[in-house]
Amino acid sequence: MRIKIVGTGRALPAQCVTSRSLDERLGFDQGRLEAATGVVERYVCDTESQVDLACAAARLALADAGSEPNAVDLVIGGCAVPYQPLPSTAPLVMQRLGLADGSAAAFDVNSTCLGFLTAFETAARMIEAGQCQMALVFSSEVASRALPWTDQPEIAALFGDGAAAAVLRKAVPGEGEISANLMRTYPSAYEACGIGAGGTRFDFHRQPEEFSRNALFQMDGKELFRVTSRHFNGFVDELLQRAGWRHEDVGLIVPHQASPFALAHMARQTGFAAEKLVDISARYGNQIAASIPFALDIARKQGRVMPGTKVLFLGTSAGVSFGGMALEA
């Protein structure tokens, strides 16, 4: 698919929370959470909403693209956790950006931490099919909510809030392309990571205790590590084969920022040089679906994504799924 990223942007809440301040708040020895997670600091919403962050990132992406909001005819939200169950988040972002009623399509997709890649691919296919001309894709996360600080503080301390967006249009010959997309899912590990309440699984009125007990995020890190160690290398090999790329062709890897330790393990496991990875996890934490586009925007602003650069997006998500995209910039 001949698709070009013409603009990106990112947004953060104002409040920065260090791991050492969390140690003090929770009564831990200084340095405990930083040593356990590798995360030095993260940003946490206080007065900002998820939609505020999404719109701020979207406006910056549009400015970077040199486009006005009314040039967009497709808005796709790829958030792991929505603003509310119904309606989806994208129509509200469309409204807040000032797009007129009926001027665009707006909807959400959800593949948890891989939400941005799924939204990106969906937008690209719609552009390729001639259903739209310019797409705005965003991921915005308030990951600091519903965390298990009592039972799993080392898990809770991994996460931070943030948003990022990208503007896409059809590329002309020589401007680059999406060489391959791939997702593979291992539902045997479905229960290893998630939030059980909030949908139809638990009835708030009939099962209040179960609803409350399952309202916090839970993660079995050992099970996720087992699945990743067993299957991720083969997944990356298949993605590269579909793209027609050799291992050494990859110029930059934009991964999901699961944790600093997870990224170091990914580099060792796949054999990619650590300097090829965009690693921002120690300063921003795991921003769930926003982490890939957030890292992408940083890499673009640093000049690491040049015309012709072969960029590999890689990530894992609850479910459990592996996802990736091979993009020639």
User: Which amino acids are annotated catalytic?
Assistant: 113, 256, 286
The secondary structure of the chain, three-state, reads CCEEEEEEEEECCCEEEEHHHHHHHHCCCCCHHHHHHCCCEEEECCCCCHHHHHHHHHHHHHHHHCCCHHHCCEEEECCCCCCCCCCCCHHHHHHHCCCCCCCCEEEECCCHHHHHHHHHHHHHHHHHCCCCCEEEEEEEECCCCCCCCCCCHHHHCCECCEEEEEEEEECCCCCCEEEEEEEEECHHHHHHEECCCCCCCCCCCCCHHHHHHCCCCEECHHHHHHHHHHHHHHHHHHHHHHHCCCHHHCCEEEECCCCHHHHHHHHHHHCCCHHHECCCHHHHCECHHHHHHHHHHHHHHCCCCCCCCEEEEEEEECCCEEEEEEEEC
CA dihedral in degrees (306, 308, 312, 313; nearest 10)?
60
Cα angle 185, 328, 264; round to 5: 55
The torsion region of residue 39 among left (phi > 0), alpha (psi -120 to 50) and beta comes to beta
CATH class of 3-170: alpha beta
Who's near 265: CB < 8 A, 6+ residues apart?
Answer: none
Report in angstroms the alpha-carbon separations of 290 from 126, 145, 178.
22, 15, 20
Residue 176's pLDDT is what?
Answer: 85
pTM of the model: 0.97
- Termini Cα distance of the chain: 12
Does domain 177-328 correspond to CATH entry 3.40.47.10?
yes
Query: In the chain, which residues have pLDDT < 70?
Result: none
Residue for token pair 């039972």: 151
Contact between 23 and 17 (Cβ < 8 Å): no
Q: Where do the CATH 3.40.47.10 domains begin and end in the chain?
A: 3-170, 177-328
Chain mean position to CA 117: 8
pLDDT score, position 280: 98
> What is d(CA 315, CA 323) in angstroms, rounded to the nearest whole number?
5
pLDDT at 178: 97
pLDDT at position 9 is: 99
* CA torsion, ordered 322, 318, 23, 13, to nearest 10 deg: 90
